[in-house]
Amino acid sequence: MSEDWDELEKQDKNDDEVDMSVYQISSYPADITLKGYLDKWDKKQLIIPEFQRNYVWEQAKASKLIESFLLGLPVPGVFLYKDKATNKLAVIDGQQRIMSAIRYFKNEFDEKIFRLKGVLPKWANKTYNDLDESDRYQLDDMVLRATVVQQLDPDDDSSIYHIFERLNTGGINLNPMEIRRCVYYGELMDVMAELNDYPNWRALLGKPKPDKRLRDVELVLRVISLESNWNNYEKPMKSFLNGFLAKFNKMNSDDKAVEIERITENFKDSCDFIVNSLPDKPFNLRGRTNYAVLDSIMVSVMESDIFPGDFAERYSILIKDEDYLSAVSVSTSDEKVVKLRMEKCYEILVS
């Protein structure tokens, strides 16, 4: 199974590097106190976007950070992204440091009281309220410097994905879909997670359990993005997927609701039809899931209202067609190749 996901990540890495020169970006330092972060958090001005890897530090590690603040030791700064429309600050890098401080101020660590452990005896087992007044003032006023990044132009905040990707410095780097879940979080992310659990989608993938790192959710996104606009596809694939999410998130609430209902019904119906019409694991070539076969067949079915009675026979012809096999085997994210395999699917499967 892991080989399949490795192949997907290999394709992401083979996509052309995004030209960051098209963005006008500015950054500036901000000396924010720890109490300042708490204040922004309570006012919902500071956002820790929801993605796979949330707060992961153990209490002992978080305690050591608080001890460093109490000792006045230097702590590496954080990166925040300022949204032009709302002036809210999204944490790009540094959520463990920020949330450790906030948790200590709030006297909570998961379901426990946050008492310092593994620190100097004068602070051992103390909550924030247990600290001496001078230590509380020290902690309140301690600065955790932030670099605030904002996109000046173009007007769509699309650079945040690429900035996050470059500044992602965690112990386990986030993959493209984990970054998208952070940057473009919204209703569609929840819907894609639900679709990823749909039994017949799991059957088509041949993987009963969802992938912990969201790589199967990326396939859901790939299918619905291409179904929406494959005629205007431009590489790299990851930028195409990002653009779809950014555009969707800018829709008004009513249009989002209509589109989500359409996507959900269409995706599930297509999974049902393919499972009932084709052999097991119909997207597998040479023993593994071929993502180009997957996206082209899924998209052609999702866009079609009427299916020929000999669909299974047509599928057998499709996966032997030399042009199609080339289009699902080599340079699969190139514009001409994507369009060729889509057109071949329509020509052979549903025309």
Reported as a single tens digit per residue, the pLDDT across 179-206 is 788 778 789 999 999 999 999 999 999 9
Mean pLDDT of the residues in the chain:
88
**pLDDT, tens only, 212-266:** 889 999 999 999 999 999 999 999 998 899 999 989 998 999 999 999 999 999 9
Using pLDDT thresholds of 50, 70 and 90, give the confidence band for residue 277.
very high
Q: What is the pTM of this model?
A: 0.67
The SS3 call for residue 127 is: coil
The residue ranges of every structural domain in the chain are 2-19+173-350, 25-153
CB atoms within 10 A of CB 289: 23
Whole-Å CA distances, 25 to 47, 164, 169, 324: 20, 13, 20, 42
Task: Judge contact between 137 and 90, C-beta under 8 A.
Answer: no
Cα(88)–Cα(268) distance, integer angstroms: 36
Query: Around 286, how many Cα atoms within 13 Å sit in the side-chain half-sphere?
Result: 9
Cα(322)–Cα(289) distance, integer angstroms: 19
Whole-Å CA distances, 163 to 33, 55, 62: 24, 21, 26
Cα(61)–Cα(65) distance, integer angstroms: 7
